[in-house]
Amino acid sequence: MNSQIQQIDKANHFAVFRVQQSCHLNPWSESVFLDSLTKPYFAYQLVVDEEVIGYYIGLNVAGEATLMDLGVSGDYRGKGLGQQLLSHFILQCKLRNCDEIWLEVRESNQTAVQLYSKNNFSFIEIRKDYYPTKTGRENGLIMKTTLVK
């Protein structure tokens, strides 16, 4: 499997936008997605054998980073590609001199919670009924890690 991580911009965003749409029950609009490709955001896509299969979008403000979104296409989940994207994101945060990283994840997304925990993210608090679901709402978990430079 030949993979590379490339920066996303407005010229190459559409394939990544389609992946983002497939990863979420309530995906972002294209205009919101395009806004996330401008500073202070930073965004990268994972390309495997010339196919865009994953991405992340980060936000960097005053030394604090937020992982806004990270996704991998369904057929490619469970192959360590989320870890590859998260490792790249953490490296980019260090290169941007961030001191800490924050994120929020659906409580039901235990695969992601385990990935973040394995990468030294700690649970901070619950956002009650934050995310919409097909049958109501579910909690969001706020997690954080401090970067060692």
Cis peptide before 40 (omega within 30 of 0): yes
Residue 76 annotated in active site: no
How many Å apart are CA 103 and CA 68, to the nearest integer? 7
Whether 130 sits among the annotated catalytic residues: the reply is no
Q: Which one is catalytic: 55, 56, 76, 116?
A: 116
Give me the catalytic one of 64, 104, 107, 138: 104
Q: Please state, in angstroms and rounded to a whole number, the distance separating the CA atoms of residues 13 and 25.
A: 20
Distance of alpha carbon 117 from the chain centroid: 15
* Local structure of residue 6 (DSSP, 8 states): E
Residues assigned a catalytic role: 104, 116
